């Protein structure tokens, strides 16, 4: 049996800490270097950004910061024999591979660079008006490139976990039917794909980590997955780095941007309700028991189209008569705008007698959108500016007039695998088409009700309750999936003897009706709630909360990043014997 492969992450998004690749290369202690370093750069919004780049220069379309990361680290990676796998190729993996080869030549290095392509469906004519259209590919192209001796593999749109699953396949020799092993690697990949979100970043229990003495003021260490031959793994980080790896920090990332209890990847269907977590030691969490099944037959495609242009103003309303001031301003402006869509939002007032001007102020935002830029230039900014001396008392804006900016609309699509040619171009130029799986999960087996309520737990006994924040003993992590908001809620793993009772309470209280009560914006939206008893969690999907996706949304928090923290702050009735 092969030894575990140590796979590190150095990027969770396009714009993450540039020094992370070097930190992961140099951070090994006591002979515990990593074997592979991976980076995830491709959020849905990033594909739109890269698509806009190609409109300016067809030779772009890749994450240029990845090249910057390699400048000071490529030689060290080659010396140590550490492989690098990244989806930074974006819309132009061949172009990025060429730039890496040029960089290696300039540095006097011999780097074997391979790339994976075939995801880009823009030229297929399947999606009218698509600026980008990329199928989500699996991990076997990456695995083949590494097996053939590549030092660096860059890809286009593979699934986020695939940059981790590919090296695990290459190391352990798994086959396309190694479903449990592949599923275990998918879970490990999902945990580390977003970088420091697994080590204390964006974590609702950060104050607990401070109280426990975790080094939270140091730069948070990027995560490492030690993946064993059976697909189980240990999530950890380099010694001496900031942050912490706990069952709760890992759970937070597990619940991030998932949908149902079945996590679909091109190579395997992962049963999220089979995952088992255990604190194996300080900054070491074991993931085991993950079950897998054949993948579904069709592939998901991320499509971005140009939606038009947008512009906005933010007005400051201070002191008394806030609502009257807002009403007067809107009455002065609404009839003058020529934009196709105008949305007004207002932050709530904090009450009277504030001891700072900021505390006495609210923000009134006006967001305008139109298919053309024209109505959003002077026809939009002019009427706003001209009211500076002719509207409510204390008229103030937070910024000067801006030019209109383009926005995109994201939508998911699905295609037959026959429409996609998953291809790896090896470091020696040989092209290899990756075969499709031979077995698929029947779509009928994907019961859409699987994992939904009712909860497997009995109803809580009637006891005295107290009105307290939901977050009293519940953590949360939230985010976006296209136009949907994902909200994961789970009970803190704090060693309390009340843990099981708290999990039962959470699974009973969080129903679609309760979600609409806690999030009034969702009152007319479809809400799905999935119960994950193995994680002490529920996962909530609020369909359509974010409209056409982050780039087009006019919501205050267009990616739902703060949704979880808001919901944790909401007051609910908690049984007194659980507190």
pTM over the 0.85 mark: yes
The Cα–Cα gap between 100 and 39 comes to 15
Q: State whether 71 and 208 are in the same domain.
A: yes
- Evaluate whether residue 60 is within a structural domain: yes
Domain that holds residue 361: 307-409
Predicted local distance difference test score (pLDDT) of residue 461:
57
Residue 379: per-residue pLDDT: 97
On whether residue 449 sits in a domain, the answer given is: no
pLDDT of 451 reads 75
Q: What angle do CA 505, 506, 507 make, to 5 degrees?
A: 95
- Shared domain for 336 and 276, answered yes or no, is no
* Ranges assigned E (strand) in 356-399: 361-370, 396-397
Assess if residue 153 is contained within a domain: yes
pLDDT at residue number 28? 72
Same structural domain, 266 and 314: no
Verify that 188 and 291 share a domain, yes or no. yes
* pLDDT value of residue 460: 56
Residue 438 within a domain: no
Q: Where residue 355 sits, what CATH number does that domain have?
A: 3.30.70
pLDDT at 1: 78
Asked, for residue 301, whether it belongs to a domain, the answer is: no
What's residue 369's pLDDT? 97
Kindly give, in sequence order, each residue whose CB lies less than 8 Å from that of residue 37, ignoring residues fewer than 6 positions away: 7, 8, 9, 10, 21, 24, 25, 77, 82, 83, 84, 85
Whether residue 338 sits in one domain with residue 286:
no
444 lies in some domain: no
Helix or strand (DSSP H, E) at 9:
strand 5-9
Asked if residue 361 and residue 288 are part of one domain, the reply reads no
Say whether both 270 and 251 belong to one domain. yes
Residue 351: per-residue pLDDT: 78
Residues 10 and 116 in one domain: yes
67 and 124 together in one domain? yes
277 and 311 assigned to the same domain: no
If asked whether residues 263 and 178 sit together in one domain, one would say yes
Residue 391 domain-assigned?
yes
Number of domains, the chain: 3
Cβ-contact 283, 245 below 8 angstroms: yes
Does 167 reside within a domain? yes
What pLDDT, on a 0 to 100 scale, did the predictor assign at position 533? 94
Mean pLDDT, 10 residues at a time, the chain of 579 residues? 94 97 85 90 93 95 97 96 98 98 98 98 93 98 99 98 99 98 99 98 97 97 98 97 98 94 96 97 98 96 96 97 97 96 93 88 97 97 97 96 94 96 98 96 75 62 80 96 95 96 95 96 96 96 93 89 96 93
Please give the pLDDT value at position 456: 61
Torsions phi, psi for 54 (to 5 deg): -70, -25
Confidence (pLDDT) at 554: 86
322 & 186 share domain = no
């Amino acid at each position: 049996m092969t030894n575990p492969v140590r796979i590190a992450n150095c990027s969770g998004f396009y714009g993450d800490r540039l020094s992370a690749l070097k930190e992961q290369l140099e951070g090994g202690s006591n002979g515990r270097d990593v074997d592979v370093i991976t980076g995830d750069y491709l959020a849905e919004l990033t594909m739109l950004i890269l698509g806009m780049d190609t409109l300016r220069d067809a030779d772009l379309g890749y994450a240029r910061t990845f090249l910057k990361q390699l400048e000071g680290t490529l030689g060290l990676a080659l010396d140590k024999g550490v492989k690098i796998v990244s989806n930074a190729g974006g819309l132009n993996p061949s172009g990025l591979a060429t730039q890496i080869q040029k960089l290696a030549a300039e540095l006097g290095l011999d780097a074997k660079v391979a790339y994976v392509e075939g995801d880009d469906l823009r030229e297929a004519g399947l999606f009218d008006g698509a600026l980008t259209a990329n199928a989500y590919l699996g991990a076997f192209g990456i695995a083949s490139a590494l097996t053939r001796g590549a030092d660096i593999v860059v890809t286009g749109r593979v699934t986020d976990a695939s940059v981790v699953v590919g090296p695990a396949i290459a190391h352990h020799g798994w086959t396309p039917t190694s479903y449990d092993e592949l599923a275990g690697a998918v879970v490990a990949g999902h945990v580390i794909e977003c970088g420091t979100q697994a080590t204390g970043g964006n974590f609702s229990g950060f104050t607990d980590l401070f109280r426990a003495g975790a080094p939270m003021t140091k730069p948070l260490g990027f995560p490492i997955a030690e993946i064993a031959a059976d697909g189980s793994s240990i999530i950890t980080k380099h010694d001496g780095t900031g942050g912490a790896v706990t069952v709760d920090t890992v759970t937070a990332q597990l619940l991030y941007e998932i949908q149902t209890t079945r996590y679909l990847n091109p190579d395997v269907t992962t049963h999220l309700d089979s995952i088992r977590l255990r604190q194996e030691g300080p900054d070491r969490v074991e993931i085991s028991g993950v079950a897998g099944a054949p993948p579904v037959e069709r592939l998901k495609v991320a499509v971005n189209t140009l939606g038009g242009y947008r512009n906005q103003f933010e007005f400051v309303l201070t002191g008394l008569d806030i609502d009257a001031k807002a009403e007067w301003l809107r009455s002065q402006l609404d009839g003058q705008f020529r934009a196709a869509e105008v949305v007004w939002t207002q932050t709530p007032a904090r009450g009277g007698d504030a001891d700072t001007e900021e505390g006495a102020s609210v923000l009134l935002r006006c967001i305008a959108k139109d298919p053309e830029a024209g109505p959003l230039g002077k026809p939009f900014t002019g009427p706003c500016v001209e009211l500076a001396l002719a509207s409510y008392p204390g008229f103030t804006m937070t910024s000067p007039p801006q030019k209109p900016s383009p926005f995109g609309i994201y939508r998911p699509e699905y295609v037959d695998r026959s429409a996609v040619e998953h291809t790896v171009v090896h470091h020696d130029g040989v092209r290899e088409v990756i075969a499709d799986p031979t077995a698929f999960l029947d779509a009928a087996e994907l019961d859409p009700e699987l994992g939904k309520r009712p909860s497997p737990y009995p109803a809580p006994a009637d006891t005295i309750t107290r009105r307290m924040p939901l977050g009293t003993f519940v953590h949360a992590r939230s985010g976006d999936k296209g136009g949907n908001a994902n909200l994961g809620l789970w009970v803190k793993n704090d060693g309390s003897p009340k843990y099981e009772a708290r999990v039962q309470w959470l699974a009973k209280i969080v129903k679609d009706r309760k979600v609409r009560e806690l999030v009034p914006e969702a009152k007319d939206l479809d809400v799905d709630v999935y119960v994950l008893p193995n994680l002490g969690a529920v996962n909530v999907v609020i369909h359509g909360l974010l409209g056409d996706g982050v780039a087009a949304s006019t919501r205050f928090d267009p990616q739902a990043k703060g949704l979880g923290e808001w919901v944790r702050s909401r007051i609910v009735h908690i049984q007194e014997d659980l507190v």
